[in-house]
Amino acid sequence: TLRLAEVVRSAAFENAIDLALIANGGVLLMEQWDLLSGSEHAPAAEIFSGRIDSWWNVAEVFFTSLFVAEMCLKLLVLGFYEYVRSLKNCLDAFVSLTAVVVTALVYLPNSFSDSRYIRYVLALRLVRLLRLLGVVPQVRAVSSTFVHMLPAASDLLKVLCALIFTYAALGVYLFGGLVQSDPPRPSSQSDFGTLGYYPNNFNDMGSACVTCFELLIVNNWHVICEGIVEASGTVWARLYFLSFYILAVLVCLNIFVAFAIESFDRVRSDMESPTLEPGSTPDSRTVQALIRGRSARFDAAKITGTSTGVTGEFRAVARRAMLMEVFSQVARPADDGEVRHAAASGTPAVSAVLDLLGSREPIAERAESANPGQRGQLP
């Protein structure tokens, strides 16, 4: 029915399910408290009884039934294809169906009667609570930064991985088999040996890759360096670590950090940018234009702080895709009964737009007639 569809699609329904997930997490936490506090004892006999004979078992069956009911309601309202288009719904369905199967195996007569498997399955559903972190602006900014920087930094990450692999292979060739605790080697008398850094060696490719990663994050790399120097018996081994530090840390890693800082600054600027809601009236300080892709709509009254003497708006189309935000003072909107006209070619407004677009080539202009309340918004 329409009423049921409104309820299932409402934010209140999702909030209620989130509260149920939090309650489920609290129950799981109390069940595992002995294990988490370090006072674990032998499992209670009712865990293996194969019967619903404790409050924990009742809670597990209740949450399983609740989440299965949620899945059925969403399938009924959204339909199968719309339901599976959401990864969150797919995860919910997988966990719910798995919980049903495990619950049946535990409580039906058979030798598989450990009810702890039910809570293990229900714990997977708590992954959904991670989306609540998006409510925190700082967390949302960090996650958006990570998503935006991956395409730009992918090539750099490939270079960094290739560099680590190359230096790991070179380390195995140069220092393989030199770091041993039995029999004692000269490195055992250094900080490398006294601090137990023997697993950080180049005796095999796996250990070498881990060691190079530790060198990349500058994790006591001087201790590893001195241990290898003592084991190899030559100070020239320091050139290996020095060259890796210059190429991997000072060059590649710092460029990657620069990508991260630039992406974070862009995301933070987007989050702090003032926006106009549909039907709202812009004040004296707001977004004048957002150029995204190849076109943008400009307020003709004032461009980059320059009064044009024209009341209207126009649309500019660039020859190449661009992405920038333009902030400036804008004039008060015209009266509701006034129809705004397009800015004429050759006005100071058009010249300012050409400067913003970085080109003096002609641009396409199209007259627009819009509600003054929509000024500053893109189509």
Q: How far apart are CA 332 and CA 172, in angstroms?
A: 71
Do residues 153 and 110 both lie within one domain? Answer: no
Do residues 90 and 156 both lie within one domain? Answer: no
- What CATH number does residue 202 fall under? 1.10.287.70
Q: How confident is the model at residue 127 (pLDDT cuts 50, 70, 90)?
A: confident
Residue where a domain stops, chosen among 269, 293, 318: 269
Residue where a domain stops, chosen among 207, 236, 269: 269
Question: Number of folded domains in the chain?
Answer: 3
Lowest-pLDDT range of 2-16, 76-90, 102-116, 195-209: 102-116
| pLDDT reported for residue 211 | 93
C-alpha distances in Å from residue 324, one per residue of 7, 60, 269, 290: 40, 52, 11, 7
Residue 114 has pLDDT above 90, yes or no: no
> Is residue 279 assigned to a domain?
no
pLDDT in tens, 322-376: 444 343 333 334 443 333 333 333 444 444 444 444 443 433 333 343 344 444 4
Do residues 9 and 122 both lie within one domain? Answer: yes
pLDDT in tens, 361-370: 433 333 343 3
pLDDT in tens, 150-202: 777 788 888 999 999 999 999 999 999 888 877 766 656 778 888 888 888 99
> Is residue 277 assigned to a domain?
no
pLDDT in tens, 215-254: 998 888 888 988 888 888 888 999 999 999 999 999 988 8
Greatest C-alpha distance within the chain: 94
Boundaries of domain holding 363: 285-374
Q: Which residue has the higher pLDDT, 314 or 139?
A: 139
Residue 133 has pLDDT above 90, yes or no: no
**Contact assessment for residue 299 and residue 334, using Cβ atoms and an 8 Å cutoff:** no
Its pTM stands at 0.49
Q: Tokens 């230096």 — which residue?
A: 167
Do residues 156 and 118 both lie within one domain? Answer: no
| pLDDT reported for residue 296 | 60
| pLDDT reported for residue 185 | 67
Q: How many CA atoms lie within 13 A of 232 on its CB side?
A: 22
Do residues 188 and 87 both lie within one domain? Answer: no
